[in-house]
Amino acid sequence: MPARYLANAERSPTPWTLRKEDEVAGKPKSAEMHPGPGFQLRQEIERVNPEVVAGFQAFETPSISDLMNRLYTMVPAIHNMTDPDLAILGPACTVKVFPGDNLMVHKSLDLARPGDVVVVDASSSMMTAVLGDLVSTKARHRGIVGFVVDGLIRDLPAIRRLGDFPVFARGVTPIGPLHRGPGEVNFPVSAGGIVVNPGDLIVGDLNGVVVVPRLIAPHLLERLMAAAAGEAEYLAAVTRGEFSNKWVDAILDENGLKQTSPNEQLPSS
């Protein structure tokens, strides 16, 4: 018998019991989840006024993006996976998940309010889907208007059969997620290269997804409404064929464009 077991051999009913100092290491403490950053949720958030949200229904994402200098639009990889006629509009309930997990997506259904868009930061993971038809059906019953996922979804045919529930994502896979955590709900996330804060306004259509920061949404709506008449007149003129490209020539001249004649030799390198 090994020497380290001899001390216990006579007094223990199990003579091969290890002494305390000889016990092997168990699960490392570093694998445990800790309350706080990375494992937290917020019950209440500020949202864009419902009247302001309704006002954005009149505008498509290109017009909104232009008035924010094209800096608040998600990458085009995040696109409409459902009916092309379905747009998405509402305040963001934000979710951050560990890649391959969706525990906090399920919890978000208890925290989102009717009219919210659930935005899921899955770190652009291509490992697993973070939601499918069951989560989408539950969300629809709760009055959630749709999902924007920086990651993958699954059960796409069944989600499309819901008929009126838009889901934007990077792609689709049959591989389902785990339900372990960690994660966060209603804290800032990154989706499609854009920081999304809880309560920001999400607008999505066939052109893509735009994020309107909550605090500027009322003023941006005023600017959109003010610009709408001029844009309508311009579009009507183009539709009639009444347009000029003199503005293009002005920019070229301003920057010193050189025009080469057919017989002119190009400089040798």
- Can you give the pTM of this predicted structure? 0.85
Note whether 198 and 92 are within 8 A (CB): yes
Tens digits of residue pLDDT in 160-209: 999 999 999 999 999 999 999 999 999 999 999 999 999 999 999 999 99
Handedness of CA 70, 71, 74, 77 (dihedral sign): positive
Query: Among 5-14, 101-110, 259-268, whose mean pLDDT is lowest?
Result: 5-14
pLDDT at position 22 is: 58
Cα 223 from chain centre = 26
Buried-exposed string 13-44: b where 16+ CB fall within 10 A, e elsewhere: eeeeeeeeeeeeeeeeeeeeeeeeeeebeeee
- Measured between alpha carbons, how far is residue 132 from residues 16, 157, 170, 229, 264 in Å? 51, 10, 14, 41, 63
pLDDT at position 28 is: 78
Decide if pLDDT at 139 tops 70: yes
245, two tokens = 């490209």
pLDDT at position 150 is: 98
Average pLDDT over residues 132-149: 98
**Cα gap 133→157, rounded to integer Å:** 9
pLDDT band at residue 258 under the 50/70/90 scheme: confident
Handedness of CA 107, 109, 113, 116 (dihedral sign): positive
Domains and their CATH numbers in the chain: 49-230 (3.50.30.40)
Tens digits of residue pLDDT in 224-257: 999 988 887 878 888 888 889 999 999 999 999 9
pLDDT band at residue 6 under the 50/70/90 scheme: very low
pLDDT band at residue 20 under the 50/70/90 scheme: low
Note whether 201 and 212 are within 8 A (CB): yes
Note whether 168 and 78 are within 8 A (CB): yes
pLDDT at position 269 is: 59
Decide if pLDDT at 10 tops 60: no
